[in-house]
Structure 1
Amino acid sequence: MQHNEIKKTILVAGATGYLGNYIAKELISRNMDTKIIVRKPGKIIDIASKLTGIIQAEVTRPETIRGHFHGVDTVISTVGITRQKDGLTYMDVDYGANMNLLDEAKRAGVKKFIYVSVINGQLHRNLKLVEAKEAFVDQLKVSGLDYTIIRPNGFFSDMRDFLKMAEKGSVYIFGKGKKKINPIHGADLAQVCVDAINSNKKEIAVGGPDILTHYEVAEMALLASGKPINIIHLPHWLRKSIIWIMRTFTSSKTYGPIEFFLTLMAEDAIAPRYGSHRLSHFFQNEMDTLKKRT
């Protein structure tokens, strides 16, 4: 049972990212006192007036967040680098920046810390992108704070890679494309993250409502793009070779997302189903938006 008479203040770190922005909007829609940490406040003009506070800070620099967590009940962090390009490593951000947030939360007497990692993260510590996230998860578990680790399946935004291929006329998949995934929309995932504030669960794995094979996702992307169904099957030895080449000749920042994506392309990634947003509608909306711009 929720005690609505106690007004909690929630702090969102990573609020200008794909998921963080949805979480901030979900909190506001539930009339919860919402603070956010941002590097560039200009990115959140649409919700700025509805926020309890905006902390302009660099989470990789602990001195910039010091003293800003007083009165905060719960911290929700989506901080991580998937596509960021400013010379920082996964250990700097996914581990280090989140450790800065955790240390400050402990100092300020924050009660709960909600962290968004990845599905099956425990099984993929060998991947650069996951290694840093799971190192932070280890520290969160022994921090003494109440916590929930959210483990989402792929985001709809990640599925744009299929659309980009489709627009060029062909979609490449590995093997027969029978591996399954149920990616989730940011708005649906935001509801799960906000619900976790009052949840006793320590870990929540979550995916979207539709369980799809990679072949079906490819087909969906081509249909949305209005292109003929042209799906090219690549052998798994090629996928493994690409990972090896990327690991050998590029930096972890370059190969991290590719290594992660290509590894997950070889296995089922099915999480408990949640939400109402369908991938086919997302693809269609993306194409409609693109047409309006051109």
Structure 2
Amino acid sequence: MKNNEIKKTVLLAGATGYLGKYIAKELIYRNINTKIIIRNLVKAIPLAYDFVEIIPAEVTRPETIKGHFAGVDTVISTVGITRQRDGLTYMAVDYRANMNLLEEAKKAGVKKFIYVSVINGQLHRNLKLVEAKEAFVDKLKASGLEYTIIRPNGFFSDMRDFLKMAEKGSVYIFGKGKKKFNPIHGADLAQVCVDAINSNQNEIVVGGPDILTHYEVAEMALLTSGKPINIIHVPHWVRKSILWIMRTFTSSKTYGPIEFFLTLMAEDAIAPRYGSHRLSLFFQNEMDTIKKRTNG
């Protein structure tokens, strides 16, 4: 714990999401004065500490966050949606809600804004899920505030899809499965986000410690599930056909996350390595949890 971190007050938005929960824990672990914007107060119970202020608000409604940024030095936002819900669009959440935070931060004289986007986001503005994120990134860069854009590789939580397929006996991958990536655990990424409070880097690209091919992850998932190695290779023309069909016949609410997944699965995504959490252990812990639920 650094002495200069204790003096700062951080406002965290998105604390109930996968990454946000870990950032909240990291801020608490470091004894950093923290304000947390949260919609569901029941989920705030584990965050109840003397130096943590819980703010019941909805970032999509700017009037609910007004006045709560007083005394805040740094804002950290993980606000965004990967799977549509509540009828909200990417532009309504990933862009507009973050703009609400940014505008309120500027009014209150906040010094720095840390925002979590996606790896290679600037290269995939054509994707609906990324378009809104990068539109906000543009506004943040032009805001006049100090800023850090965090660009993580895939989350460990996203890798559960491999386990779900493995439990059914087969894992599907595109092409030969040789594309490489290094997903990162939420706890490791949270450390990067909190360290960014005192960083002068404008952008941080980060991934986990292990660089793996899609084939290796599929194999790992099947082994963890105790299933025979049954990996089905789907030709890329099928992937492209699915993309065309989804874009043509469904709304962005439906095809957005599928479009993002199918696009990134067709390319390497290797980021500077960080952290100590291993995907193999994550898979094992997930399977242990599944078994306990089944037996319980």
Please give the TM-score of this superposition, normalised by the length of structure 2: 0.97
What is the Cα deviation at residue 167 of structure 1?
0.4
Alignment-derived partner of residue 102 in structure 2: 102
* Alignment coverage as a number of residue pairs: 293
**Mapped partners of 1:199, 1:5: distance in 2:** 12
Gaps of 5+ in 2: none
Alignment-derived partner of residue 8 in structure 1: 8
Alignment-derived partner of residue 123 in structure 1: 123
State the identity %: 86
State the one-letter code of the partner of 2:140.
L
What is the Cα deviation at residue 184 of structure 1?
0.1
Q: Does 1:203 align with 2:220?
A: no
Alignment-derived partner of residue 158 in structure 1: 158
State the one-letter code of the partner of 1:8.
K
Q: Is the 8 A contact 1:28 1:50 kept in 2?
A: no
State the one-letter code of the partner of 1:137.
V
Gaps of 5+ in 1: none
State the one-letter code of the partner of 1:12.
L
**Mapped partners of 1:58, 1:51: distance in 2:** 22
How do residues 156-195 of structure 1 correspond to structure 2 at under 5 angstroms?
156-195=156-195
Aligned with 1:4: secondary structure? Answer: helix
What is the Cα deviation at residue 254 of structure 1?
1.2
Q: Is the 8 A contact 1:69 1:108 kept in 2?
A: yes
**Mapped partners of 1:250, 1:221: distance in 2:** 31
How do residues 74-85 of structure 1 correspond to structure 2 at under 5 angstroms?
74-85=74-85
Alignment-derived partner of residue 38 in structure 2: 38
Alignment-derived partner of residue 227 in structure 2: 227
Q: Is the 8 A contact 1:124 1:131 kept in 2?
A: yes
Q: Is the 8 A contact 2:90 2:132 kept in 1?
A: yes
Q: Is the 8 A contact 2:6 2:32 kept in 1?
A: no
**Mapped partners of 2:121, 2:284: distance in 1:** 30
Alignment-derived partner of residue 87 in structure 1: 87
After TM superposition, the structure 1 stretch with the greater mean CA deviation from structure 2, 93-102 or 33-42, is 33-42
State the one-letter code of the partner of 1:201.
Q
**Mapped partners of 1:36, 1:4: distance in 2:** 20
Q: Quick one: structure 1 residues 5 and 210, their matched pair in 2 at CA, closer, same or farther if it must change by over 3 Å?
A: closer
Deviations 1:64-119 (A, max 9, x none): 10001000100000000112410000000000000000000000010000000000
How do residues 144-155 of structure 1 correspond to structure 2 at under 5 angstroms?
144-155=144-155
Q: Quick one: structure 1 residues 92 and 226, their matched pair in 2 at CA, closer, same or farther if it must change by over 3 Å?
A: same
**Mapped partners of 1:208, 1:50: distance in 2:** 33
Deviations 1:19-65 (A, max 9, x none): 00100100100110111111101113122235521111110110010
Q: Quick one: structure 1 residues 64 and 259, their matched pair in 2 at CA, closer, same or farther if it must change by over 3 Å?
A: same
Q: Quick one: structure 1 residues 38 and 51, their matched pair in 2 at CA, closer, same or farther if it must change by over 3 Å?
A: farther
State the one-letter code of the partner of 2:80.
G
Aligned with 2:55: secondary structure? Answer: strand
Aligned with 1:45: secondary structure? Answer: helix
State the one-letter code of the partner of 1:109.
G
